[in-house]
Amino acid sequence: MRDHDGSGHDTDGRGYDKYAFEPFAVTVDLAVLTLRAGALHVLLVERGQEPYAGRWALPGGFLLPEESAEEAARRELAEETGLADVTGLHLEQLRTYSEPGRDPRMRVVSVAFAALVPDPHPDPVRGDPRPAPLEPHGGGDAAQARWTPYDAARGLAFDHDRIVADARTRVGAKLEYTCLATAFCPPEFTLGELQQVYETVWGTALDRPNFRRKVLAAPGFVEPVPGAARLTSGRGKPAAVYRAGPATALHPPLLRSPREGRPA
């Protein structure tokens, strides 16, 4: 029953017998998502080698012997984005892709993650001196890295199209019942910026007063930064500034309503 090697060995499925299991290569793949200019973007790297040379792919790489998939993902994230502090970024394990043949060379099992990062290129706004913009750079090899609009991220190497689609589906769903949206925002943000996260990921327009009412009604979602206000687009009334609250789940949830929300 646990004897899977077909050689008559019985190792209880976990025995020392090295012939009882097949070795696999294990990688992590990262769907690094951000919001730029009102559109969802994915960080892609150009492959320099076969297979799929010249094609775009998700950043990722092999697990090191002494690290977990989460640690490998965070290491790759730091390497690929050049971001100094990846400790605070939200990493979400999506699922593991293990179909034979997903890598044409060998058997590769890949643990996919979604990483949510604030806009690395915010438009400079008066009264909001944010840290210097972050530009992804290719690694030591020839590969280059680039932020790509979600809709243009098609024809990727391996099964990365599917991973990117799964990432968006998962993130869109978690926006409803978790506080995940703040992971796309800088440490301090306005409710308008938070609403743009929802509108961009969901692809729907939301009523601003209603959105505001629901966000403020969810305990621990956001908390006001006392005395702070910021002009978000140069004109209009300055918006109050909030930061992420202590909650992780959203009660009540911010549901994608079948009624509200026309196409954005």
Partner DNA sequence: CTCTTTATAGTCGTCATGACTATTAAAGGG
Partner DNA sequence: CCCTTTAATAGTCATGACGACTATAAAGAG
96 binds, among its own copies, DNA, none (CB under 5 to 8 A by kind): its own copies
Q: Are 220 and 250 in contact (CB under 8 A)?
A: no
- Stretch 153-192: interaction string toward DNA, x if CB under 7 A: -------------------------------------xxx
Rounded to a whole number of angstroms, the minimum distance from the CB of residue 19 to its own copies is 11
b/e burial code for range 64-88 (CB count within 10 A of at least 16 → b): eeeeebeebbbbbbeebbebeebee
Cβ closest to DNA, residue 150 vs residue 198: 198
Amino acid residing at 264: A
Residues in 196-215 that interact with DNA by CB under 7 A? 207-210, 212-214
Cβ closest to its own copies, residue 38 vs residue 62: 62
Nearest to 170 by CA among 118, 97, 251, 115: 115
Q: How far is CA 136 from CA 122, 164, 184, 234, in A?
A: 15, 18, 17, 28
Contact residues for its own copies (CB under 8 A)?
1-4, 10-16, 20-27, 47-49, 60-70, 79-80, 93, 95-96, 98-100, 103, 105-109, 111, 138-141, 143, 176-177, 251-253, 255, 258
C-alpha 250/C-alpha 164 separation (Å) is: 25
Rounded to a whole number of angstroms, the minimum distance from the CB of residue 241 to DNA is 8
Rounded to a whole number of angstroms, the minimum distance from the CB of residue 207 to DNA is 5
